[in-house]
Amino acid sequence: MALKIWLNDRLVEKAEAKISVFDHGLLYGDGVFEGIRVYGGRVFELKAHLRRLFEGARAIRLPIPMTKEEITDALQVTVAANEIDDGYIRLVVTRGVGTLGLNPFICRDPGLFIIADSIQLYPEELYEAGMKVISATTVRNHPLALSPQIKSLNYLNNILAKIEALDSDVPEAVMFNHEGYVAEATGDNVFIVKNGIVHAPPVEAGSLEGITRAVVMKLADREGLTVVEKNLTRHDLYVCDEFFLSGTAAEVIGIVEIDGRTVGDGKPGPITCMLRERFYEYARGKEK
């Protein structure tokens, strides 16, 4: 079946889903987006994703050309048209067509498109065996330069760190802020476990306030675990008992090595495995 894309106000065939080379989303990375999962045909945590999308757009003074209700309907139409049961949605709002100058207010008509497709970020064996990561030398953007809470179309900072990971033959890299504290991975949030306590960097350290992150913290609390948000150093990652990442596409995945140092006993730890299982149940409506 040919993929169908929602473009501005209607569904079009994939081959017709085109934007102008003068769109400032392309020219300058001027726009916002959300990655959203679909489980059993149900769009996951949609209200939280739309809230973050609209807040990010407001922060950069980008008017969104549809209401939350209209976007919700368009998402459902796009998911149904592509027969997505378990999959991934990319919802993007661009500044729109303008000139070669930076002035965003020349762009009178913001663009919006929705892609709904299947996704598998990491192979299943990585979830079972755990993943290796490195520390990136690329420093996370200073939060006073660009708020990490704006999920903008300019991901070059993350991409440079991703290149470091791939050059080191691992899938992911941990990024640190200008003060040397853990911010996030290139596309996921960071958690560690030490002495049975779950630790996460605060969003003030330079991480996106992830939707999956919030769900994992809620599930950990339900299980009676203590969750602490605190600044983490590279040393904390080296000596933790467990280490895992969370994200829309990744869900929950254990880390078993960082910078050549084994985490725990070299396998995803018990708390990581439990939270991965709980997230799977929660996302798919299979909670006991």
Closest by CA position to 199, among listed 210, 211, 191, 209: 191
Q: Are residues 156 and 267 in the same domain?
A: yes
Q: Is residue 150 part of a domain?
A: yes
Query: For residue 1, what pLDDT is reported?
Result: 74
Burial tier of 269 (Cβ tally within 10 Å: 0-12, 13-18, 19+): buried
Query: For residue 286, what pLDDT is reported?
Result: 79
Q: Is residue 44 part of a domain?
A: yes
Domain boundary (60, 85, 117) is at 117
Which CATH number do you get for residue 178? 3.20.10.10
Q: Are residues 205 and 89 in the same domain?
A: no
Query: For residue 288, what pLDDT is reported?
Result: 63
Distance, CA of 222 to chain centre: 23
Q: Are residues 204 and 110 in the same domain?
A: no
Active site residues: 151
Q: Is residue 146 part of a domain?
A: yes
Domain boundary (56, 82, 117) is at 117
Q: Are residues 229 and 157 in the same domain?
A: yes
Query: For residue 121, what pLDDT is reported?
Result: 77
Which CATH number do you get for residue 27? 3.30.470.10
Q: Are residues 182 and 215 in the same domain?
A: yes
Determine the angle formed by the axes of helices 46-59 and 211-222, rounding to 10 degrees: 140
Number of domains in the chain: 2
Separation CA 260–CA 238 (nearest Å): 10
Q: Are residues 94 and 184 in the same domain?
A: no
Query: For residue 260, what pLDDT is reported?
Result: 98
Domain boundary (117, 140, 162) is at 117
Separation CA 206–CA 155 (nearest Å): 14
Q: Are residues 160 and 259 in the same domain?
A: yes
Instruction: Find residue 191's DSSP bridge partners.
Output: 244
Q: Are residues 243 and 276 in the same domain?
A: yes
Domain that holds residue 78: 4-117
Show the beta-strand stretches assigned E in the chain: 4-7, 10-13, 31-39, 42-43, 87-94, 111-117, 131-135, 172-176, 182-185, 189-194, 197-200, 227-229, 242-247, 251-258, 261-262
Q: Beta-carbon neighbour count of residue 241 at 10 Å?
A: 17
Q: Are residues 229 and 246 in the same domain?
A: yes
Tell me, what amino acid is at 185?
A
Q: Is residue 288 part of a domain?
A: no
Q: Are residues 101 and 189 in the same domain?
A: no
Separation CA 136–CA 158 (nearest Å): 10
For the chain, 288 residues long, give each residue's pLDDT as a single digit of tens: 789 999 999 999 999 999 999 999 999 999 999 999 999 999 999 999 999 999 999 999 999 999 999 999 999 999 999 999 999 999 999 999 999 999 999 999 999 999 999 987 788 999 999 999 999 999 999 999 999 999 999 999 999 999 999 999 999 999 999 999 999 999 999 999 999 999 999 999 999 999 999 999 999 999 999 999 999 999 999 999 999 999 999 999 999 999 999 999 999 999 999 999 999 999 998 776
Q: Is residue 41 part of a domain?
A: yes
Question: Tokens in use for 273?
Answer: 């495995």
Q: Is residue 24 part of a domain?
A: yes
DSSP class of 230 = -
Separation CA 11–CA 5 (nearest Å): 5
Q: Are residues 162 and 277 in the same domain?
A: yes
Helix (H) or strand (E) holding 236: helix 234-239
Separation CA 67–CA 165 (nearest Å): 39
Q: Are residues 15 and 39 in the same domain?
A: yes
